[in-house]
Structure 1
Amino acid sequence: MKKPSNLLIKVSRRLFEDSDKQEKFIEALVNPKPFSPCVLWSLEKPEITPFAAEIPIPWQPKFVDRLHIGEEPGKHPLHQQGYFYCLDFSSVFAASILLTIDQSVPLLFDMCAAPGGKGIFAWKVLRPDLLISNEVISKRLGMLISNLKRCQIKPSCVVHRDSSIFAEMLSQSSSLVIVDAPCTAQSLLAKGEKVPGCFHHTSINKSANRQKRIIANSTQLVAPQGYLAYMTCTYSPEENEQVCEWLLERFPQFQAVEVSHLLSYQSHLTTIPCYRMFPQDGLGAGAFTVLFKKIAEGESNKMSIETITSMCKYYSFTKTL
């Protein structure tokens, strides 16, 4: 086994008290093994699929397949035709909290949308009247637009502005806001990618402060009795449980929702119902996820979908699909 960095060792000790779990976590990052490729069927799944699939785990949606290692779905013609979206199963885990939502979602806002997988998952589950996908990083917009267009996700708008703009512009309008937050992306190490500085406290604190700013702005969009989903692909408690604790203290009108099918993944670092997948579990590179509900009473901002679409065009229009 390659020698782990001191920072990685420190993080492993913060995450796990048991030394065996620490070693398995470090091993998964230092000597990563391949995970099963995964597809999300955005169009109707063929009766006979062209891929060899693993046996589904109990909570896995029927529109998601984990494939045998070695399958290359991105090279299949059905991919270019928009039948499916390729993603890591950790993303399915994170987005699966949305399966808990049992009410209509007229307006769905994806705050940090690129490359689009969480928004496509949400659209497939909830079929909103309008999906607004925001991406503040210009170079990621092309990928987002391409994926939404290829998978025929509509009606949807792609916008390109800071979260603070929408906090004012679309206050209390959204039934669901997804914040797949920018993070230190430590889980990329489990995929064999290099992420320099991802365990350094300066990077972690900078990321956590940005996440708090984005999630604070995002709370302003949520309509009464609406939902806020928060997700990351990193391991640091500062970017995960501590952000949740900060949110609940700062915004008491929100409460975390228990997700019954993820109870076995409950984070042991907090009593808040939030959930973690680790790479040593063998399903995916890792993720953190939590679903909040706005329990405050009151009227939502009942702008029509047409009005909201027009406002998006005026303020930060990029593409309507």
Structure 2
Amino acid sequence: MPKLPEDFKEKYTRLLGKSRAQQFFNSINDSPKSAFRVNSLKENHCLSCDPKKEVSGIPQAYYGKISGQDPAWVSGAVYSQEPTAMFPALFVEARPGQKVLDLCAAPGGKSTAISEQLKGEGLLVANEISHTRAKVLRENLERWGTTNSLIVSEKPEKLAQCFPHYFDKILVDAPCSGEGMFRKNPQAIKYWSQNYVLLCQKRQKEILNAAVQMLKPEGEIVYSTCTYSPEENEQIVSWLSQKFNLTIMSLAVKTHAIAHGHPEWADNNPDLIKTVRFWPTADLGEGQFAAKLKLSPNVVVQAKFSPNQKKKKKRRPQKEALTKSEIQLIAEVLDKFNLPAAIKNWRLNSRVRNNHVFIPALSDSANLHLQILANGVELGVLKKNRFEPGHQLAMVLAEQKQNRVVELSRESYLKYLHGETLRTQANETGFVLVSCQNFILGFGKISNHIIKNYYPKGLRV
């Protein structure tokens, strides 16, 4: 059993009582749970899942492990995610057409779930302050086939300048002391201290201060952590509801493997019982906390950060409209595929910047002066007298049945992931989609029965 800090054990013995606390400590020695979600945006008829392994309360989620080299994972048909971590995004309950912010989004599991809820309509802004982690976020949303996301890497305070009173729904899966990850990552125990808990609480308040400024009147915010600490859970929710006149909402959970929040661990606000806790003793997954709050229709939170604090240099206007000749080059490739609704009108909706052709999820994003990693769908790149389709386009095309597909053997599949050139008996020429076990992996280009590999260099293994 991992050696738990004495301060930690004393704290939870005081909160839970000796018997329950001992059960809790023992559960940290159990094996962590693994699970995956099935992507409802894509055609997954070839994916067979055991109904007996369903994660209680989460649609299309199953216990089990998926390798990072499994064709189902590489194609974006599934996403590996700790089971209780699936619930915060479920609580968002985004509707198609709404504007949603995932404020602390990496590595992307919750953003991919929200993108399914939006069904390609509306806007998902996925933010991650760490630029390195933001790149992983981009890869996962791209693999998932998301078409309506703006992926940024900014401080919450900077976003509050750009999006005052803008979002219908906001998810804050806050950085925390990580007590709920102790059995999954025993190294996390070494970093634990009560001072660290209080440091996390301070940062959580700063993040939420910025988040609420971006919420529309009657907008909803879901707050979650992967820790047990009342200082970061019930006490944060109580502070948030009082400071900004937010109403704590009930959470619809279709599983019995949860516990209610503890008002007595904060200020005895009876509404705190509407928050939910996941304990490892319930055998669903790792530790998790979640709460949902709603802003009053008559409350507008005044922005603390003026967007005019600093004068921004005007950026030189860049050519964004496609020329007729560029449209013709792109059409020579795209017209051979069955295009999903999100990109069917690419001739009208596409923009070009630095030769990259994309359909923006948010127009005029350049004027926001944000660190933007991706905006909408990148169709590909214009080069001299030709158009090369991008990997994100392949992931989006996987949402529809396609005819120009070359199926690979397991041996050829591994070579494709390595970036190798392949031989084929297929008679097609030009760009095709490449698949393995009927999972679409990316593009290849056939000439004389040779497939030139277009799998992105940054993803090759």
Which of the five TM-score ranges fits, normalised by the shorter chain?
0.7 to 0.9
Quick check: 1:77 aligned with 2:71?
yes
Match of 1:4 in 2: 4
- Change in Cα spacing, 1:119 to 1:140, as seen in structure 2 (3 Å) is same
Q: Quote the offset at 1:42 in angstroms.
A: 4.8
Match of 1:222 in 2: 215
Quick check: 1:320 aligned with 2:371?
no
Quick check: 1:114 aligned with 2:106?
yes
Quick check: 1:257 aligned with 2:249?
yes
Q: Quote the offset at 1:209 in angstroms.
A: 0.4
Match of 1:54 in 2: 52
Q: Report SS of the residue matched to 1:261.
A: coil
Matches within 5 A, 1:143-162: 143-162=136-155
Q: Quote the offset at 1:23 in angstroms.
A: 1.0
CA shift digits 1:40-94 (9 cap, x unpaired)? 4253363453444534355322x32233xxx434342011011121100011123
Task: Select the structure that is richer in strand.
Answer: 2
Match of 1:20 in 2: 19
Match of 1:206 in 2: 199
Q: Report SS of the residue matched to 1:315.
A: coil
Q: Report SS of the residue matched to 1:175.
A: strand
Q: Quote the offset at 1:297 in angstroms.
A: 3.3
Structure 1 distance, partners of 2:252, 2:289, is 16
Q: Report SS of the residue matched to 1:148.
A: helix
Q: Report SS of the residue matched to 1:195.
A: helix
Match of 2:61 in 1: 64
Structure 2 distance, partners of 1:54, 1:74, is 23
**Larger RCO, structures 1/2 (Cα 8 Å, 6+ apart):** 1
CA shift digits 1:129-159 (9 cap, x unpaired)? 1111111112212211110111111221111
CA shift digits 1:8-62 (9 cap, x unpaired)? 2123224413x22211211122x2313142224253363453444534355322x
Give the counterpart letter for 1:248 in structure 2.
S
Matches within 5 A, 1:133-152: 133-152=126-145
Structure 1 distance, partners of 2:2, 2:173, is 31
- Change in Cα spacing, 1:293 to 1:308, as seen in structure 2 (3 Å) is farther
Q: Looking at CA atoms only, which structure, 1 or 2, has the larger radius of gyration?
A: 2
Q: Quote the offset at 1:108 in angstroms.
A: 1.0
Q: Quote the offset at 1:290 in angstroms.
A: 0.8
Whether the 8 Å CA contact 1:12–1:26 is kept in 2: the answer is no
Match of 2:280 in 1: 279
Q: Report SS of the residue matched to 1:54.
A: helix
Gaps of 5+ in 2: 264-269, 302-359, 377-461
Q: Percent identity?
A: 24
CA RMSD in angstroms, aligned pairs only: 2.6
Q: Quote the offset at 1:191 in angstroms.
A: 1.1
- Change in Cα spacing, 1:291 to 1:120, as seen in structure 2 (3 Å) is same
- Change in Cα spacing, 1:286 to 1:2, as seen in structure 2 (3 Å) is closer
Structure 1 distance, partners of 2:5, 2:363, is 52
Match of 1:309 in 2: 365
Give the counterpart letter for 1:152 in structure 2.
G
Structure 2 distance, partners of 1:308, 1:28, is 51
CA shift digits 1:109-140 (9 cap, x unpaired)? 11111001111111112334111111111221
Structure 1 distance, partners of 2:12, 2:300, is 45
Structure 2 distance, partners of 1:210, 1:184, is 11
Structure 1 distance, partners of 2:300, 2:8, is 47
Q: Quote the offset at 1:196 in angstroms.
A: 4.1
TM-score (norm 2): 0.62
- Change in Cα spacing, 1:15 to 1:152, as seen in structure 2 (3 Å) is farther
- Change in Cα spacing, 1:3 to 1:204, as seen in structure 2 (3 Å) is closer
| Equivalent pairs, count | 308
Whether the 8 Å CA contact 2:57–2:255 is kept in 1: the answer is no
Give the counterpart letter for 2:116 in structure 1.
K
Gaps of 5+ in 1: none
Match of 1:34 in 2: 32
